[in-house]
Structure 1
Amino acid sequence: MNDADPPSTGRAGSLLRAISPDLSPWRSSRDFRLLWLSGCVTSFGSFLTYVAVPLQIKELTDSSFAVGLVGAFELVPLIVFGLWGGALADALDRRRLVLFAEAGLGLLSVLLLVNALLPTPVLWPVYVVAALVAAADGLQRPSLDALTPRVVRHDQLAAAFALNSLYRNVGSVAGPTLAGVVVTFAGVQTAYALDVVTFAASLLLLARIRAVPPPTDAEKPSVKAVLTGIRYAWSRKDLLGTYAIDLCAMLFAFPVAIFPFLAAELHADWALGPMYAASAAGALLVSVTSGWTSRIHRHGRLLLAAALGWGAAIALAGLSGSVWLVLFCLMLAGGADQISGIARSTLWNQSIPDEVRGRMAGVELLSYSVGPQLGQVRAGGMAGLVGVRSSVWIGGVACVVGVLALATALPRLLSYDDRTDPNAAAVRAQHEREAAEREAAAEQEAAGAA
């Protein structure tokens, strides 16, 4: 600090540096920068299609049931191909898998565009494409998630997740709004066309990432390989705890499906949009102040605190009769969910060996995808029995009770410490060996060129 600066300025600067996002993965890894930029581009395109598909189905059928049916078409392909995609990610070049899946997703957007340009668009291709998109996403996501530990240093994994969450949360707040403007004023055809363009740009970025070949002794993709991954997850009670707590939180305290009814009950129909955006805003606030997360070592305890915070915030939202307090509680819940995501992702990437990382990413995909869908069914069904606000606060309380019970039943999760955990130590040593080998190879190549 300059002697001329007042002490308060120095303290403010230190605080700002402590909470600002850790940009070290961006600075040190070219491949992470390419992945991050690709994610930014496709995030916008995905929200265009996310808004356009239900609107197009509504225009074709004028049926809320027909719109909701999209989720049923997506669920089974996501489960099946998510697990299979994890086995492929451990056996093949992850970069190549991501590229092929990205190209497939781009072609599916082309099909949506062609159908929308027909004089009379047809309904069934929209459902078919939705199912195929879920399958392609299930194949791609494990490889995409498992790429990060290969391109980012072990001590930068928490920072990498926070930076990825930053663009996702910005997209969650701004994406639907921008997509709504495009769809409203330019039509679903324009939305699909722009999505195709974003996939083309993303492919150009992903193509520049270095190859990420599997180990020479990698297990071939098979049902047996999938079951090996599931058995590994079961053997690691700390991992099992992360899956179980997230599933519990989403099952009991994910009331998004009844937001329209909650807004009406509070006599604030105008608040429906802000309700959807509030949790994303809270998550974004955590992302832009996430520097402190790089200094956390007990990620199981951080996950427990975040899950309890999520449940408590949802319970308060259900008990409150003020729409402004509801929005504030939803923002708190979104921040807690973001902290939970950082804790889970860091623990996974720090302690899962690379030879099963893809299969574990497939299991993770199911844990954070199936929970919200079941939670919507729980919230809607209970709202019909006990009322909307009661469904919300009872779900929040059940989340708190369930999370505490799981923490008691799975003490290995709470004892996790990345400084002493043997699994984390083994993965750290593996990363150090690979980094040393890459450095030695680069030196030999430089010497040969000289």
Structure 2
Amino acid sequence: MRTGSARRSRTLLGSVVIDTRPLRVPAFRRLWLSSVVTSIGSQLTAVAVPKQVFDITGSSGYVGLAGGVALVPLLVFGLWGGAIADTVDRRTLLLVSNVGIAVSGALLWLQAFLALDSVAVVLLLLAVNQAFFAVNMPTRNAVVARLVPEHLLPPAAALTGTMMMFGAVFGPLAAGALLPVVGLSTLYLVDTVALVLVLWAVWRLPTMPPLSGQVRRAGLRDVVDGFRYLAARKVLLASFVVDLIAMIAGMPRALFPEMAERTFGDPPGGGAALGWLFAAIPIGALLAGLMSGWVGRVRRQGAAVVVAVGVWGLAVVGFGLSGSLWLAVAFLALGGAADMVSSIYRTAILQAATTDEMRGRLQGVFTVVVAGGPRLADLTHGWAAAGVGTAAAATGGGALVVVLLVLAVALLPAFWRYRAAADPDD
């Protein structure tokens, strides 16, 4: 009887706690571990850039402009990088792009260390950094489906997302604690060192040339072919549309520096409120990832994404109406949990419903949407806040998410009906 009870307890625990089966694949484990060291460091830079821009200018509008500047290389190199990932050895491309991110990070450290106080220099280096990032991300994501079987794609996405959220939680908290002590330049330096350290883990990955065996140059035609492929597959198209709705209308992070000081009482040099605001969404996402053992059992993945995006929008409304820091953090954490669920299923849908010869290009579009959407949100929220205030900008954005989501589902009902393949281990 005790044995049966223990077995039922393990089964219940396994249905809740994150599924680690993909880590049994050595190559995926190396790829996953390469994200561990950099997950915190990259978030230090994510806090340092908007904080430095705000310190120089005193304006959320300029913080939003930084998002707009970063958007251009994300659009161009995200699409082109995805095409390259389909035509060359993906391991080699990962190495080159990681080196580029590290070098641009080192230059960000140098300009902060020298106290140049030039918004133009910061924005230029940010653009270069994001160009290499835009090549790296679709390549990294396209690799996963070559390493793990299809039924393990949802837990693989959960593992990757959870590790990234781990860094996104502790990175901003560390930034908030370190800023008054060591200053901005050290945050950039830590990120650079972390990026250098992961090169060895990437080097240990197996070579991954195109399955056709033909290595060639990628051109504009490859990018166009990727869009044609996407346009013909309504489920994939809808997954991008709903995420764009959530991020462009509902991501309020450009408001965090101003709200930290003027709403929640941080000192001008930065403090705990700024760290908590940046960390809140990742905290919720991390908790959802750690409790994601159930995600592989949900077959109606399209409906799950729609519900999660709706919860995100309502949580942002609550954040905008919050007058207390801890209530604001709670709503952002709820939104982060919903966003993690959405991300897991959108990633799994994209990996499963795309052929390998198109996977890099579709991951390029995915990178543009996931990273570019929030950049557009930075621009729109920053200037909206300059006109109507931070509370109205956040609340209105969250409400707009819900309205546009309902419209998108009505226009693309196939996404709501999408079902994934069953897990053979169930």
Give the TM-score normalised by structure 1.
0.83
Distance 2:301 2:355 in 1: 18
Distance 1:68 1:83 in 2: 23
Report the counterpart of residue 76 of structure 1 in structure 2. 72
**368-377 or 400-409: bigger deviation:** 368-377
Deviation at 1:309, TM superposition (A): 1.2
Of the candidates 289, 292, 296, which is equivalent to residue 291 of structure 2? 289
Of the candidates 140, 143, 152, which is equivalent to residue 156 of structure 1? 152
Distance 1:23 1:221 in 2: 35
Of the candidates 240, 244, 261, which is equivalent to residue 243 of structure 1? 240
**236-245 or 273-282: bigger deviation:** 273-282
Query: Contact 2:65–2:379 at 8 Å: present in 1 too?
Result: no
Distance 1:273 1:126, change over 3 A: closer
Of the candidates 7, 12, 17, which is equivalent to residue 15 of structure 1? 12
Residue identity opposite 1:284 in structure 2: L
Matched, 1:419 2:416: no
The residue matched to 1:291 in structure 2 has which SS? coil
Deviation at 1:352, TM superposition (A): 0.5
Query: Contact 1:219–1:225 at 8 Å: present in 2 too?
Result: no
In structure 2, list runs of 5 or more residues that go unmatched: 267-271
Deviation at 1:191, TM superposition (A): 3.5
CA-to-aligned-CA distance 1:62-110 (integer Å, 9 cap, x gap): 5546655433332211111111001101000111100011112222233
Query: Contact 1:298–1:416 at 8 Å: present in 2 too?
Result: yes
Deviation at 1:11, TM superposition (A): 5.4
Distance 2:40 2:257 in 1: 25
The residue matched to 2:205 in structure 1 has which SS? coil
Query: Contact 1:246–1:367 at 8 Å: present in 2 too?
Result: yes
Distance 1:44 1:100 in 2: 21
Distance 2:370 2:10 in 1: 37
Residue identity opposite 1:336 in structure 2: A
Matched, 1:32 2:34: no
Report the counterpart of residue 169 of structure 1 in structure 2. 165
Distance 1:109 1:255, change over 3 A: closer
Report the counterpart of residue 146 of structure 1 in structure 2. 142
Matched, 1:126 2:122: yes
Query: Contact 2:238–2:415 at 8 Å: present in 1 too?
Result: yes
Matched, 1:97 2:93: yes
The 5-angstrom pairing of residues 331-370 of structure 1 reads 331-370=333-372
Distance 1:418 1:276, change over 3 A: same
**73-82 or 368-377: bigger deviation:** 368-377
**390-399 or 152-161: bigger deviation:** 390-399
Higher relative contact order (CA 8 A, sep 6+): 2
Report the counterpart of residue 332 of structure 2 in structure 1. 330
The residue matched to 1:20 in structure 2 has which SS? coil
Distance 1:193 1:317 in 2: 32
Report the counterpart of residue 269 of structure 2 in structure 1. none
Q: How many residue pairs align between the two structures?
A: 417
Query: Contact 1:32–1:152 at 8 Å: present in 2 too?
Result: yes
Deviation at 1:299, TM superposition (A): 1.1
CA-to-aligned-CA distance 1:155-178 (integer Å, 9 cap, x gap): 111111111111111111111222
Query: Contact 1:90–1:219 at 8 Å: present in 2 too?
Result: no
Distance 1:22 1:416, change over 3 A: same
The residue matched to 1:290 in structure 2 has which SS? coil
Distance 1:245 1:306 in 2: 10
In structure 1, list runs of 5 or more residues that go unmatched: 429-450
The 5-angstrom pairing of residues 199-278 of structure 1 reads 199-214=195-210, 215-216=212-213, 220-259=217-256, 271-278=273-280
CA-to-aligned-CA distance 1:274-309 (integer Å, 9 cap, x gap): 333222111111010000001111211111111111
Distance 1:286 1:141, change over 3 A: same
Distance 1:54 1:267, change over 3 A: closer
**272-281 or 342-351: bigger deviation:** 272-281
Distance 1:396 1:368, change over 3 A: same
Deviation at 1:249, TM superposition (A): 1.5
Distance 1:261 1:122 in 2: 20
Query: Contact 1:253–1:395 at 8 Å: present in 2 too?
Result: yes
Distance 1:66 1:385 in 2: 13
Root-mean-square deviation (CA), in Å?
A: 3.0
Deviation at 1:35, TM superposition (A): 1.0
The residue matched to 1:75 in structure 2 has which SS? helix
Distance 1:136 1:310 in 2: 29
Deviation at 1:360, TM superposition (A): 0.3
Distance 2:64 2:389 in 1: 21
**186-195 or 280-289: bigger deviation:** 186-195
Distance 1:190 1:387 in 2: 32
Matched, 1:312 2:314: yes
Residue identity opposite 2:156 in structure 1: A
Report the counterpart of residue 400 of structure 1 in structure 2. 402
Distance 2:184 2:352 in 1: 42
CA-to-aligned-CA distance 1:293-350 (integer Å, 9 cap, x gap): 0111121111111111111222233445565444322221111111100110010011
Residue identity opposite 1:132 in structure 2: V
Distance 1:52 1:262, change over 3 A: closer
Distance 1:267 1:149, change over 3 A: closer
Give the TM-score normalised by structure 2.
0.87
Deviation at 1:13, TM superposition (A): 4.1
Percent identity among equivalent residues? Answer: 37
Matched, 1:85 2:81: yes
Distance 2:376 2:116 in 1: 35
Distance 1:279 1:97, change over 3 A: same
Distance 1:268 1:10, change over 3 A: farther
Query: Contact 1:283–1:338 at 8 Å: present in 2 too?
Result: yes
Residue identity opposite 1:21 in structure 2: I
Report the counterpart of residue 445 of structure 1 in structure 2. none
Query: Contact 2:63–2:382 at 8 Å: present in 1 too?
Result: no
Query: Contact 1:308–1:403 at 8 Å: present in 2 too?
Result: yes
